[in-house]
Structure 1
Amino acid sequence: MPKQNTLGHYSLTKIQKFSIAGVATLGAAALAFSFVPGNDQTAQAAEASTASTASTVAFSADARTIQEGVAKQQTAYAGIAKAAEAAAQKQAAAEAKAKAEKKAEEKAKQEREAKARAARDAARKPVYANNLDGWIKESLAIMKKEGIPGTYEGLHRNIMRESSGNPRAINNWDINAQNGVPSKGLLQVIKPTFDAYHVEGTPHNQYDPVANIVAAANYAADRYGTIDNVDSAY
């Protein structure tokens, strides 16, 4: 039993102090032991940490793989787009070439057809002799086309009376010559009359035999009905 000291308090014996100290030491040790993880807990913590690290590494690797895949796809798409553009340009060039060739072929065809028509026309076109007979016949063909009446006989008769068949004949003595407009050519027409009754398609020249005959016949048709009705100066 503890002893009571002079102050009226009890004091512990030496043995009791040692006992209490021992119990306190054991309690602290037990408490400390309870707060220190065991080997299994340490291993589990280490495994968890390792797993977390591995997951992080795996996630990084997956992300890198995805990025690489996306980059490859973009490269592939770019290549496809470039190839498509090149194919489109090639097709456009081919179409333009085909169009140009077709146009050139059509032009060449038209030129060939035009030459063929010209050749046929030339083959069909009569060749008239460069003499009075030929001039009258050519004039009659033009007069028929233009609707101007007249016959070979009527033209020939008036030509022989007016110029004797000389296309360069000129009258320098009659009233027309005195007025400054001499009669000229096969049918002796003056310049105002020739200009007024000239037929397009013939030379605009009084001395041209065909142009002179057709213009004179055109004038005679307008004034007398036909050159066949003319038997004197007209």
Structure 2
Amino acid sequence: MRSTHSGYTRLSKVHKFSAAGLGAAGAAAVAFAVVSGGTAVADARPVVKPVAFEAKAFAGQGQGEAARHADEAAARAKTEAAAKAKAEADKERAGKQAANRSTTREPVRKPAAVAPKAYGDNLEGWISQALDIMKAKGIPASYDGVKRNIMRESTGNPHAINDWDVNAVNGVPSKGLLQIIDPTFKAYHVEGTSWDIWDPVANIVASCNYAADKYGSMDNVNSAY
């Protein structure tokens, strides 16, 4: 039976469609639309069947991925442990080698101290020592030239004194091996020798220094100077 109200036609039957087989993914409904002729027709939209998921497959993939990551982590840990062990072994070996070198290294030998040259306490020793000092100071003279003048002036007596010549008259007598007066000795004294005019080495060096200044060398002196 049909009835009209306000220009609209009311359907007398409602067609129901059931969607089966959709499972856990849900159901699709078929909608109805009213057309101008008052007839209800179905909106025939395609029903999409949900894709079934293979839970087991995904589970298997997850387990495989986890196993792979675990294997990689284990490999990295093993490599790092081996590298650490090698580094520690190298460090220990280097320490032992250094210790061995320190214990087996020969001690540094200091150069032996040069003993001072010894000179005799006699005319030969005095002349030799005086000549070594004069050589270091650049004062010229030879052994023969020095000895020759000593033998003429004092006959080798380091305590000889002239108390009769003009110098003695003037209060400055000639003294020592080469008969030098006090003012001349002080003026030509050589550093490193004694300030005592009676010291044989100091007497020779100062006298030769004076002779080198006045005559070029004691070797050039053949008389009183």
For the residues of structure 1 that align with 2:193 and 2:130, how far apart are their CA atoms?
10
Structure 1 residues 29-58: Cα deviation after superposition (integer angstroms, max 9, x where no partner): xxxxxxxxxxxxxxxxxxxxxxxxxxxxxx
- Give the drift of 1:126: 1.0
**Count of paired positions:** 117
2:150 to 141, 153, 159: 159
Structure 2 unaligned spans of 5+? 1-109
Alignment match, 1:120: 113
Equivalent position to 2:127, from 136, 144, 163: 136
What are the within-5 Å matches in structure 2 for residues 63-212 of structure 1?
120-121=113-114, 123=115, 125-212=116-203
The runs of 4+ residues in structure 1 deviating greater than 2 Å are none
- Counting only pairs closer than 5 Å after superposition, residues 49-68 of structure 1 correspond to structure 2 as none
Give me the whole-angstrom Cα distance separating, in 2, the residues matched to 1:158 and 1:205.
20
- Secondary structure at the aligned position of 2:193 is classed as coil
1:204 maps to a residue whose letter is W
Q: Percent identity, aligned pairs only?
A: 66
Letter in 1 for 2:211: A
> 1:196 Cα shift?
0.2
Among 221, 228, 231, which residue is 2:222 paired with? 231
Q: Distance in 2 between matches of 1:120 and 1:184?
A: 38
Q: CA deviation at 1:161?
A: 0.1
Higher relative helix content: 1
RMSD across aligned positions (CA): 1.6
Stretches of structure 1 that go unaligned for 5 or more consecutive residues are 1-115
Amino acid aligned to 1:169: A
Q: Are positions 1:222 and 2:213 aligned together?
A: yes
CA shift for structure 1 position 209: 0.2
